[in-house]
Structure 1
């Protein structure tokens, strides 16, 4: 199988709000078969490289990586995937997208983000042409079930419930984080007791709210106070943070990393004050590439990711998207996931 050469360009980024509007208006969903651009920037090229880029307060910053096919890994592909010569990568980013993981570029139609970038890197190692299909979250799984999508790179958490239907190759930690003003001296330090006396904003009905309320209950039992506040949207939350009406915002680590990067040169820059596993204290949650159970794809995809880890390109990909604090030491096939009572 010949080595495929293609270029993935991270386009000058948008503010989070603009990106959401453009993605909602610029890409149309159609069941599990809605298709975004097959590549961000150019398609196959003769350079033998994949270019990934970082968010740097809205400016494009690219890292070029040489990613030839590794035949010892591509030899393990299922015969039907190898025969068609392409890897259909599923994203569940409609209608709004989720920067920095998957969202629309400045051309108002092409998907960019950490998730499609990794999918294309993996496709390169496997010697396959990447074809990115975008849909709603629900239709992402319809696409996998129907065979219209080979593998999802879409911030899917590994759970024991999902293992009944899908197989996984892990590639990122599933983390929550605390965002504070850059001049704040407070850090979470992986200890709920550090939240005593603090006022923290969180999204209602979220996994992080559940965790935060459990911590509040523990602190109340110790005679200490944690104030939890809710706001209708992110803009209101960040206005409260810059106005010092709250001490911290507790939310998904990728979104916080994106906001920190976008806010870096404003009068009120923020920083990450500590992360926490989305699965809770007893298990490190994992984000994983997701394929149909018994498809035979998880093993070669994990091998491709481990190749990228071993040669340092995985670390460069994470760094490009300011997600180094979600690195895994190795990609595992079907690692322990969220238990059935917390899936």
Structure 2
């Protein structure tokens, strides 16, 4: 995602983590973690140690020799795929955070890195760092690929190659008993009061919609709260109608509150790139290092054989599925990167 949205998503998710009693990534520096489960060869367990944010599922993932052969020789010889994650210091459920053992990285992003490594027949080595240091690791060659909710932008393409694997969506979260649904038409927000994070991509979009509605003589009220606790208290007490946030954060909170008096639901999604382009989250590698195509082929193997859909479903992210992985698809233009 863009930097402003990324930072807010991390802070909002961290606040939600405190609210819900989940320990985040505790170290202040880059580090490595074992896989979330000790998998037998040919299997990968996703959703482990998630503290209720995912449905733990064990998937069969055989090595695919033809795809392994596409890898650069140095990576094959090393026998490891070094997966970069940028979730320090606080973690960002459900995409990347510390599991219930308070030491192991879990989340949708590390799980996909492990699935791809299994297709390659390589051992996954998960390295966690701050957002900035994630890219330093890729630049230096110490990290093979970043799986860290990284949005494809034309600006980033000047330094990196991409293999897409998930839609970059924003989401509306409402009370479970609220029947309102957003289908992509901003006019559906007339008369609503919506909370959003300041300085984020979703705020920019919401302000544009507010201006259009005002020009048409209609009102959209925007509210700001310092942290997630206050936002959800406002939602539960009917002081706001909806919360507009990164879709994975919405999916996480919906899963964590299910069955409780504070239960919420997703009321619809919207592309983080706006109406004219579907934003995409991508595996990210150093430009021209030869990894983008094998990564896309590995992801497409998982799509074709069903593991991809089960991975998304385990993390309640099925509404962000892509039909197939593309190498360097159109990204956010330079004017919006």
Per the alignment, residue 179 of structure 1 pairs with: 173
User: Which consecutive segments of 4 or more residues in structure 1 shift more than 6 A?
Assistant: 18-21, 54-57
How many Å separate the matches in 1 of 2:237 and 2:48? 29
Confirm or deny: 8 A CA contact 1:74 1:125 kept in the other structure. Answer: yes
- Rounded to whole Å, the distance in 2 between the matches of 1:56 and 1:223 is 46
- Say whether residues 1:247 and 2:241 are aligned partners: yes
Q: How many residues align?
A: 322
Contact 1:55 1:258 in 2 (8 A): no
- Match of residue 324 from structure 2: 330
Question: Using a 3 Å threshold, how does the CA distance of structure 1 residues 170 and 189 change in structure 2: closer, same or farther?
Answer: same
The answer on whether the counterparts of 1:19 and 1:104 sit within 8 Å (CA) in structure 2 is: no
CA distance in 2, matches of 1:107, 1:140: 24
Residue 266 of structure 2 corresponds to 272
Answer yes or no: is the 8 Å Cα contact 1:38–1:133 preserved in 2.
no
Is residue 93–residue 134 contact of structure 1 (8 Å, CA) maintained in 2?
yes
Matched, 1:70 2:79: no
Whether 2:108 is the aligned partner of 1:117: answer: no
RMSD of Structure 2 on Structure 1 (CA): 1.7
Q: Secondary structure at the match of 1:250?
A: strand
Contact persistence 1:55–1:320 (CA under 8 A): no
Counterpart of 1:38? 34
Matched position secondary structure for 1:93: coil
1:1-343 matches, within 5 Å, as 16-17=17-18, 22-25=23-26, 27-29=27-29, 34-42=30-38, 45-46=40-41, 48-53=42-47, 58=52, 61-343=55-337
- Between stretches 287-296 and 58-67, larger displacement belongs to 58-67
Instruction: Indicate the larger mover: 50-59 or 251-260.
Output: 50-59
Give the distance between the partners of 2:289 and 2:240, measured in 1 at CA. Answer: 48
TM-score by length of 1: 0.91
Consecutive unaligned residues of structure 2, counting only runs of 5 or more, are: 1-15
SS of residue matched to 2:23: helix
Deviation at 1:28, TM superposition (A): 3.6
Whole-angstrom distance in 2 between the partners of 1:277 and 1:320: 22
Q: Which runs of 5+ in 1 are unaligned?
A: 1-14
Measure how far apart 1:41 and its partner are.
Answer: 2.5
- Distance apart, 1:23 and its partner CA: 2.8
Cα separation, 2, equivalents of 1:234 and 1:49: 36
The answer to whether the 8 A contact 1:196-1:225 is kept is: yes
TM-score, with structure 2 as normaliser:
0.92
Q: Is the 8 A contact 2:50 2:106 kept in 1?
A: no
Q: How far apart in 2 are the matches of 1:342 and 1:209?
A: 14
Q: Distance in 2 between matches of 1:268 and 1:257?
A: 14
- C-alpha separation in 1, matches of 2:272 and 2:54: 30
